[in-house]
Amino acid sequence: MAEISVIIPIYNVEKYLVKCVDSVIAQTFRDLEIILVDDGSLDNCGRICDDYAIKDPRIKVIHKKNGGLSDARNAGIEIQSSKYIGFVDSDDYIDPDMYETLYNLIKKEEADMAYCAFYDVYESEIIKKPGGKIFVGDRAEGIKLYLDWKITPSACLKLYKKELFDSIRFPVGRLTEDVFIVVKLLLKSNKVVVTTDPKYYYVHRANSIMTKPFTPRDMDYIEASLNNVKLISDVYPEYKAGAEIRCCYAAFFILDRMAHSETLYKKERKEITKLLRSHFLQIMKNSMFSKGRKFTMVLLMINVTLYNLVSREFYRRKRIINE
């Protein structure tokens, strides 16, 4: 039995797959089980997976009917046979010592979950981030680290004791699936450890889920965030305000995507606007939000159309910078 199972869900990413899998194979921590889940790919991903399984005995391959990212990850969880679980998305890649670093942190601190930071990878540049800090906390402090943005929702930046997934699975058919389970996992963890050293390379693709135009399914992000407000406030009522701020961040993210859509989506827009307006004072007093974001919040209080105009211009300038 391997010490760590690394689960890689795969769908139509042949352009990125080799770099991803090679980065996992090259890990300095060698006691790995690598599970490649071919989620009904229509390109050459299935063949690439089978070729890897021939070359490396640590690799297992699942070929399944397309069911989405959550379903693919769950399929990997069902067959994993290790003490710890990690996830890597098939269009991303990782530093050679990522799992050695996370594993050593878990062992040293006797933690249930370890987390590392990440690089943002664009076509023209890789944005590097400062590291060098370690945070260790019990369950309550783990929630606080999440609310303070020391931990992001992404499943791929973490190493978990497998027991955390005994009763938790990714929600099939939902977007932002990580947001639906991150708080549940933290609430099951007696202790968490965080390193601010970036070890994961998050590749921003033009046609990824996070960059596609808004659809009503994107409201899953709001639902997941509202669920987290309840989960957190039920156990730690003193953290309710912080959880609501995280929810407002999600609301801004979705409202900005709506601003660039040709469809009005009146029902969804009204719902999000109401949510943000009800937290106006919290947003204006919170240091997490920039002066620019607070300015757009004031515009939203006055008129949604004004907000949309400013949001579109900001998006246009950001896109030019990243191209």
The answer to whether 24 touches 50, Cβ cutoff 8 Å, is: no
- Give residue 87's pLDDT: 98
- Give residue 137's pLDDT: 96
R_g of the chain computed on alpha carbons: 20
Q: Which residue has the tokens 């297992």?
A: 60
Q: Which of 17, 203, 200, 15 is nearest to 99 (CA)?
A: 200
- Give residue 319's pLDDT: 45
Q: DSSP string covering 65-96, please?
A: ----HHHHHHHHHHH--SSEEEE--TT-EE-T
> To the nearest 10°, the Cα dihedral for 201, 205, 211, 213?
-160
Residue 313's φ and ψ, nearest 5 degrees, are -70, -40
21 Cβ contact list (under 8 Å, min separation 6):
8, 34, 36, 48, 52, 90
Identify the three-state secondary structure at position 288: coil
Measure the CA–CA gap between 118 and 115, rounded to whole angstroms. 10
- Give residue 130's pLDDT: 87
Domains parsed from the chain with CATH numbers: 4-209 (3.90.550.10), 213-322 (no CATH)
The answer to whether 39 touches 67, Cβ cutoff 8 Å, is: yes
171 Cβ contact list (under 8 Å, min separation 6):
70, 177, 180, 181
Segments in the chain below pLDDT 70? 206-212, 313-323
- Give residue 316's pLDDT: 57
- Distance between first and last Cα of the chain: 45
Measure the CA–CA gap between 295 and 49, rounded to whole angstroms. 49
